[in-house]
Amino acid sequence: MATKKKASRKGKKLQRRAREPESVALMLAVAAKDGQDAACKRFGVAGRTLRRYKQRVDSGDWPEVAELLQSMRQEAAERCKDLLTEAYEVSLRRVIELAPQSDIGQAIKAAEMCGNMKLTKDALGGEPDSGIGSGSPA
């Protein structure tokens, strides 16, 4: 009876697939937005891999990815700010148009919603006194 020898992994390194910083940044951005499970499914990586990538970025060991993530966040904030500015202007014009025709409760509620949109836009980097909402509508 011959016994089979088990293949030893001792001394052998696992073959790891190197990832481009751009793809890692995209994976981490998707994970932050949609959740780790969604990112793992979309990119075909394990959750453990994603956690390791995040740990490397958070600890400062991967500055290229950290810079890419920061620029992705800034671009997303700019897009949101632009959309919020447009929505705020349209909403404010509509409130002013409808205010004389509607009851005071509805007008106050609509004005509060416009104010919340403006606060959000300002928090995303808009200029607080950009002229939007000050004075009469254009």
Instruction: Please tell me the pTM assigned to this model.
Output: 0.56
The answer to whether the beta carbons of residues 49 and 41 sit under 8 Å apart is no
> What's the pLDDT tens digit per position in 11-56?
555 556 678 999 999 999 999 989 999 999 999 999 999 999 999 9
Burial 110-137 (b: 16+ CB within 10 A, else e): bbeebeebbeebbebebeeeeebbeeee
What's the domain range around 51? Answer: 18-61
Is 81 in the same domain as 138? yes
For residue 65, name the pLDDT band (cuts at 50, 70, 90). very high
Residue 66 confidence (pLDDT): 94
Q: Residue 138: is its pLDDT beyond 50?
A: no
Number of domains in the chain: 2
Same domain, 136 and 103: yes
Within this chain, do residues 120 and 82 fall inside the same structural domain, yes or no? yes
pLDDT in tens, 91-120: 778 777 777 776 777 777 777 877 787 777
Place of tokens 């509805």: 106
Domain match, 137 and 81 both: yes
